[in-house]
Amino acid sequence: RRGIRKQITTWGEAGVTGEWADKPISLYGRNSASGTYGFFKEHVLKTGDFRDDVKEQPGSASVVLGVATDRYAVGYSGIGYATSSVRAVALSEKEGSRPMAANAENAYSGEYPLSRFLYVYVNRAPGKALDPLVREFIRMICSKEGQEIVVKDGYFPILAAVANEELKKVD
């Protein structure tokens, strides 16, 4: 909706030609309880709102499944939910600028317009030591093995320098 002069309802109105031109665009997204929903609303819709015909899903995996099984669908979810049945779309921040692929390099640099970091927060009283189990959990997350799990789950790992800085905070 941001920057769109009129509501687009068919693929042809989005510039697609051929067989898809007269097909309706089927929209999938997250429900309003999701952080992904809020991020998309803030960064894409800006002051606009979601259309009434968005098929709201309870989770990102459901969005991906909907897009995978609905030929004329488009949706949004975290990159970690991508499957071989869907593909991430290259995006540009401004009309006429070069679309950027949804990959780790462009996410780290901020060039992919919809990239964001996910954070882990711990509850520690000021001046108190961190619970030993929580400390070990954070160490595991920041370790090579922990980051291999992150990659296995489809997300981009944190850079080693970032992991080292975070580890200093828990010791």
pLDDT of residue 48: 86
Q: Considering only 1-15, 16-30, 148-162, which range has the smallest mean pLDDT?
A: 1-15
Q: Cα-flanking dihedrals φ and ψ of residue 20, to 5°?
A: -80, -15
pLDDT grade, residue 4 (50/70/90)? low
The amino acid at residue 61 is A
pLDDT tens, position by position, 62-101: 999 999 999 999 999 989 899 999 999 999 988 889 999 9
Domains and CATH numbers, the chain: 12-85 (3.40.190.10), 132-170 (no CATH)
- Which of helix, strand or coil describes residue 8? coil
